[in-house]
Chain A
């Protein structure tokens, strides 16, 4: 039984089943960070503008600050924590960010990675996107540090590596 005003939810996060009790007004971002302690998802503006809170909901990128956790009941959420391997080895996209100086303070990085991941995964096997498409894919993610160049290079390299390994 849930407390009055609270709703029990079950959802899958990074392949694992979770349950929780939330107030309807709790955002998915706050649920992930405060209940599940998955603090990789960052919260900047809570307004949809900065992109730091970007996760995937049922395979599509979404702002977790603009979703109430109750809306994710029965659904699949994927966060930045899903990227690295169990021993901490970096995902190729993370590796490319590291090599290309795609991050400085790191605040925007989880959202950048999740937006870039959608592009990389949607292009598996297809034509590699040009720089304009890469920039469009991350245009909703604001970075105050890098000036974006390193981020664009990192994503471009990750896409090239993918193409390389697919052969």
Chain B
């Protein structure tokens, strides 16, 4: 189908984009890569009267890695981030998760920030970015504010952004030393949204004991499921099969996955238990200290 008619705006600056959103509120939508929004507009599930295209806002495609962390602008493409050497070296979880998103032509257009704003609980990037303790910088008519991802996802397709705000960038802190990570998912076909997915980040102390752990599951709840509480049972010891399997079992019990055509809730819990165990072991191994 074809999109319903709308007025098209291509602001050149952030202030102009924020003013358009302030003026049109609920009747406007932000267009980033368009890989989720445009299909919804063609199907007329979304019928904005105003479309605010961020693609001509100067500087929003920035991708900057520095000592304090990584900044990914709102129009930085998934493909650009995935193939960046600094991302591969310091935030490999992100590159690994992006590689599972759709296909090359979709990633050439789709943005990392757009995937977070889209807030699909089954998608890779919301879970991966939450495990990396990201923060969204949002801009509205009254200026900018920072929203930690822990407070950002409020429901399927819903975020803490108001309709008059846009997300300017994602910030990821620099990971501590001796940190390893893993993104694992089960999907029906490569490039499909996962039946279930797991992001694990493990940091070890000098003696190879788990010092810090982050674990987030995709498609396990209406929002990316933060399983840090379950994973912290691993603190203070080497990450081994038994410990990782126990966390997997605890996560499967805590998860509230959906029952749909891609998999039943029972199947998803089983898959989660396995993926969590494998992801924790792999992350610990990559951190350099699997005993």
Kindly list chain B residues whose C-beta atoms are within 8 Å of the C-beta of A115: 104-105
- Asked if A41 is at the interface (CB within 8 A of a chain B CB), the reply is no
The A interface, classified by DSSP as helix, strand, loop or mixed, is mixed
- Min Cβ gap B16→A in Å is 17
**Complex formed: what's the CA distance from A25 to B39 in Å?**
12
Rounded to whole Å, the gap between the CB of A164 and the closest CB of chain B is 25
Report whether A137 and B35 are in contact in the complex, using a CB–CB cutoff of 8 Å. Answer: no
Residues on the A chain within 8 Å of B7, using CB: 24
Number of interface residues of B (CB under 8 A): 30
B1 at the interface (CB under 8 A from A): yes
Which of chain A's residues have a CB closer than 8 A to the CB of B51? 24
Binary interface profile of B, 187-205, with partner A (CB < 8 Å = 1, else 0)? Answer: 0011100000000000000
Which residues of A are at the interface with B, using a C-beta cutoff of 8 A? 5, 7, 23-25, 27, 30, 46-48, 51, 54, 60-63, 65-68, 70-71, 115, 118, 136-137, 139-141
A68-B8, A70-B10, A136-B190 are contacts. A63–B109 as well, Cβ < 8 Å? yes
Q: Are A48 and B106 in contact (CB under 8 A)?
A: yes
The contact of B35 among A48, A51, A60, by CB within 8 Å, is: A48
Also in contact, A25 and B3, with CB within 8 A (given A51-B105, A71-B53, A140-B102) = yes
Question: Does A140 contact B5, Cβ atoms closer than 8 Å?
Answer: no
Are B104 and A137 neighbours in the complex by a CB distance under 8 Å?
yes
Contact status A48-B39, CB under 8 Å:
yes
Tell yes or no: B38 within 8 A of A by CB. yes
17 CB contacts below 8 A, A to B, read A23-B5, A24-B5, A25-B6, A46-B42, A47-B43, A48-B38, A61-B104, A62-B105, A62-B108, A62-B109, A66-B35, A66-B38, A71-B55, A118-B104, A136-B190, A139-B103, A140-B103
